[in-house]
Amino acid sequence: MDWVNAILQGVLLGGLYALFAAGLSLIFGVMRLVNIAHGDMIVLAAYLGLTVTSALGLHPLLALVIVVPVMGAFGYVLQRGILNRTMGDDFLPPLLVTFGLSVIIQNALLMGYSADPQKLQAGALETASIGVAGLTVGVLPLIMFATAVVIIGALQWMFYRTALGRAFRATSDRQEVAQLMGLNRAHVFGLAMALCLAVTAVAGIFLGIRTAFDPAIGGSRLIFGFEAVIIGGLGNLWGTLAGGVILGVAQALGGQVSPGLQILAGHIVFLIVLALRPRGLFPKMEG
């Protein structure tokens, strides 16, 4: 029963990793941009949630009403003001810019909030649980996993059923042709980054509720997000969810064997998948 419980907890943890990864997958799919600062933006959202909850006395989940649009607006301004100027055939300039942005965010958070670990207080939600087939399941992990499924499902629907999604796909496939057809590439890219950081805001709030955070943890969140994206398959949103679940289960089973193996087990599974299926388990089908 302990192993079954570990697998279940790993699946639910995978929902959080999928939220970490969804924005990365979206941005890479639309712009072919690897955002090194993504993990720090997750932490930035957590600190923004901390500020909102402290100032207004809101529950962290209610703080999403403010944090999501603020992060979305930040993403649009960032893309239009800085990142669009670096986009081109060479992938190195945007990579270097996002690396610099990562350093800036970390140091700004360190100056503003200090290095002391912080946590979002969600009250009874943090310890609430329900019984499922003889197992005890936390309500918060269930909410995180359900939220990941809903968000990824909504992104998938948006991509293939709306005008904005068609603009994303057209700009991703043939930027020059999309420009000739009247699409403003800079605006489309700005909307993509805004959507990415809106999802990142949700991931940041859940991270802040689930565990303590500090300005230096962005790198590890970035790694988990990258691993989920690569395991699932680049550009495949449902694959990203599957990758997050696989990573979460691997870590949970590793932790069941030995606490020291928890994180290492996830990295080992990632390396195995990368060696056997470089494009991931569920790569996006072309054509």
Question: Tens of pLDDT along 2-14?
Answer: 788 889 999 999 9
Token pair listed for 167: 């603009």
Structure token digits, residue 9: 């907890």
**157 or 88, greater pLDDT:** 157
User: Which tens digits make up the pLDDT trace of 209-257?
Assistant: 999 999 999 999 999 999 999 999 877 889 999 999 999 999 999 999 8
| Helix, strand or coil, per DSSP, at residue 106 | helix
The CA-to-CA distance between both ends of the chain, in Å, stands at 45
When pLDDT is cut at 50, 70 and 90, the band that residue 175 belongs to is: low
| Domain extents in the chain | 2-115+136-276
**Residue 149 gets which letter from DSSP?**
H
Can you give the pLDDT at residue 55? 94
- For domain 2-115+136-276, is the CATH number 3.40.50? no
Is 221 in contact with 43 (CB distance < 8 Å)?
Answer: yes
Asked if residue 116 has pLDDT above 50, the reply is: yes
Confidence of residue 177 (pLDDT cuts 50, 70, 90): low
